[in-house]
């Protein structure tokens, strides 16, 4: 059934429920000298390139490939439209490897037709911190689909990860592959219900008028929590401590240090927004929330071309209730003109989604580990990975 995935060191469907298999690595590292030194063969018309995402021209080529060929919803109404600034941020975290940003070009025309990336990350699984590659942005041009190019791309990124002496990976997909460590549900909170309905992102509820719908989703003009403010560079140590302590409770979570927090969580305009609560009395940092900006192209609408979406990222509550904190996040997202606020049911998100008027979407996100077996499928609430 899965001619490629059956050959890979991943949990297989036939082994689901077999708790006699141990947790941890499926295969052992091989000596680096035994890692294949040459790239995998591509069909003759194509060639590998390593993409320099620091170059504006390269960034534009990748942007154009993804804008026209990346992930769509099941009815092909919307397509993710990652910005160049976002790609630059997502692909150059601390310790990134240029060799893990892989493109495929047509030899003659030099046109970029496929892409896959990895970035390094330390991920804790129960008590073990494992250095992994986070694989993302796998994309094959629409005209080259179903030609088994994806398995070659995946083998090539695997080879380049192995060359750095890294033997595990984490990735997410909207499709079911062998085999998810967890399956999460997307939830959506309307901020601009009229536009969402006009473009077919959502529908007018039963016995609802447009005016009643607009009123239902109305939010205050300013945040309510005293001491709620934007995160600043000097907050990095306090946010790192707060977040590290919070993430201990989850089965799978990133192991962030201050450099990671600086990169992934310091606000970057039109890419990532982070807010925290500084106690007006003690000046302690007690709570934190963040979201990233990922618009989608609206395919074939006369009036609108982009849907401005915020995606919940990492949130930590110790003093302010998570409900109030996330309500403040919705308020700032609305002030920043987002049309919708999206969240997965990961971490403690399940505790506020319904009350804050999020509704379940038609999409699911499956989480995977490469070369790491778990005995049981995890609940979404046991997971603290947010794939960007």
SS3 for 102? strand
Stretch that binds ligand MYA, among 68-76, 185-193, 297-305, 375-383 (CB under 6 A): 68-76
**Site for ligand JJ1, residues 38 to 77, rule: CB under 6 A:** 71, 73-75, 77
**Site for ligand MYA, residues 144 to 173, rule: CB under 6 A:** 145-151, 154, 157-158, 161, 167-169, 171, 173
- State in angstroms the smallest separation of the CB of 68 from ligand MYA: 10
Binding track over 4-23 against ligand MYA, x by CB under 6 A: xx------------------
- State in angstroms the smallest separation of the CB of 330 from ligand JJ1: 13
The candidate with the shortest Cα–Cα distance to 293, out of 315, 267, 318, 263, is: 267
Say which entry of ligand JJ1, ligand MYA, none residue 3 contacts (CB below 5 to 8 A, set by partner kind).
ligand MYA
Cβ atoms of residues 96 and 154 within 8 Å: no
Say which entry of ligand JJ1, ligand MYA, none residue 148 contacts (CB below 5 to 8 A, set by partner kind).
ligand MYA
The candidate with the shortest Cα–Cα distance to 171, out of 388, 18, 346, is: 388
**Site for ligand MYA, residues 349 to 378, rule: CB under 6 A:** 370-371
Nearer to ligand JJ1, 46 or 338 (CB): 338
Nearer to ligand MYA, 39 or 267 (CB): 39
Determine if 79 is a binding residue for ligand JJ1 (CB under 6 A). no
Q: Which two tokens stand for residue 298?
A: 């609206």
- State in angstroms the smallest separation of the CB of 32 from ligand JJ1: 28
For 222, phi and psi rounded to 5 degrees? -145, 160
Inter-helix orientation angle 84-91/56-69, to 10°? 110
Determine if 311 is a binding residue for ligand JJ1 (CB under 6 A). no
Cβ atoms of residues 154 and 26 within 8 Å: no
Q: How far is CA 212 from the centre of its chain?
A: 33
- State in angstroms the smallest separation of the CB of 344 from ligand MYA: 15
What does each C-alpha distance from 52 to 49, 61, 67, 248 come to in angstroms?
Answer: 9, 11, 18, 35
Positive/negative CA dihedral, 26, 28, 32, 38: negative
- State in angstroms the smallest separation of the CB of 13 from ligand MYA: 11
Inter-helix orientation angle 236-247/258-265, to 10°? 100
Say which entry of ligand JJ1, ligand MYA, none residue 73 contacts (CB below 5 to 8 A, set by partner kind).
ligand JJ1
Cβ atoms of residues 227 and 342 within 8 Å: no
Determine if 314 is a binding residue for ligand MYA (CB under 6 A). no
Nearer to ligand JJ1, 21 or 208 (CB): 208
Determine if 365 is a binding residue for ligand JJ1 (CB under 6 A). yes
Determine if 387 is a binding residue for ligand JJ1 (CB under 6 A). yes
**Site for ligand JJ1, residues 229 to 288, rule: CB under 6 A:** none
Tally of CA atoms within 13 A in the half-sphere of 257 that contains its CB = 7
Residue 245: its H or E element: helix 236-247
Cα-Cα-Cα-Cα torsion 305, 308, 311, 316, nearest 10 degrees, comes to 180
Ordered DSSP codes for 145-185: TTSSHHHHHHHHHHHHHHTTT---EEEEESS--S--SEEEE
Say which entry of ligand MYA, ligand JJ1, none residue 151 contacts (CB below 5 to 8 A, set by partner kind).
ligand MYA
- State in angstroms the smallest separation of the CB of 236 from ligand MYA: 29
For 173, phi and psi rounded to 5 degrees? -155, 155
Cβ atoms of residues 145 and 338 within 8 Å: no
**Site for ligand JJ1, residues 160 to 219, rule: CB under 6 A:** 172-174, 186, 188, 190, 201-202
Binding site for ligand JJ1 (CB under 6 A): 71, 73-75, 77, 136, 172-174, 186, 188, 190, 201-202, 359, 361-363, 365, 387
The residues of the shown chain that bind ligand MYA, judged by CB under 6 A, are 2-5, 69-71, 133, 135-140, 145-151, 154, 157-158, 161, 167-169, 171, 173, 175, 177, 370-371
């Amino acid at each position: 059934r899965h001619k490629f995935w059956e050959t890979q060191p991943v949990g297989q469907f036939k082994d689901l429920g077999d708790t006699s298999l141990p947790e941890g690595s499926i295969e052992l590292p091989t000596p680096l000298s035994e890692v294949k030194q040459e790239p995998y063969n591509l069909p003759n018309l194509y060639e590998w390139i390593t993409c320099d995402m620091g170059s504006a021209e390269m960034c534009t080529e990748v942007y154009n490939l993804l804008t026209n060929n990346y992930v769509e919803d099941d009815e092909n109404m919307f397509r993710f439209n990652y910005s160049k600034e976002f790609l630059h941020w997502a692909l150059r975290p601390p310790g990134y490897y240029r060799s893990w940003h892989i493109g495929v070009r047509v030899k003659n025309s030099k046109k970029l037709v496929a892409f896959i990336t990895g970035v390094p990350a330390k991920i804790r699984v129960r008590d073990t911190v494992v250095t992994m590659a986070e694989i993302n942005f796998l994309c094959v041009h629409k005209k080259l689909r179903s030609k088994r190019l994806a398995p070659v791309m995946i083998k090539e990124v695997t080879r380049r990860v192995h060359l750095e002496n890294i033997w595990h990976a984490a990735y997410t997909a909207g499709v079911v592959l062998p085999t998810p460590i967890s399956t999460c549900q997307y939830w959506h909170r309307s901020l601009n219900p009229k536009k969402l309905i006009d473009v077919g992102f959502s529908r007018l509820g039963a016995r609802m008028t447009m005016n009643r719908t607009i009123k239902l989703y109305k939010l205050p003009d300013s945040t309510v929590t005293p001491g709620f403010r934007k995160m600043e560079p000097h907050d990095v140590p306090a946010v790192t401590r707060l977040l590290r302590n919070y993430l201990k409770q989850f089965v799978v979570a990133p192991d962030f240090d201050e450099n990671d927090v600086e990169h992934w969580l310091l606000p970057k305009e039109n890419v990532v927004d982070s807010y925290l609560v500084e106690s007006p009395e003690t000046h302690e940092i007690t709570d934190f929330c963040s979201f990233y900006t990922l618009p989608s192209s609206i395919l074939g609408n006369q009036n609108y071309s982009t849907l401005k979406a915020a995606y919940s990222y990492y949130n930590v509550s110790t003093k302010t209730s998570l409900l109030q904190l996330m309500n403040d996040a919705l308020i700032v997202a609305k002030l920043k003109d987002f049309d919708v606020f999206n969240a997965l049911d990961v971490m403690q998100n399940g505790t506020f989604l319904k009350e804050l008027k999020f509704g379940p979407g038609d999409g699911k996100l499956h989480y995977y580990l490469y070369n790491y077996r778990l005995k049981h499928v995890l609940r979404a609430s046991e997971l603290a990975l947010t794939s960007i």
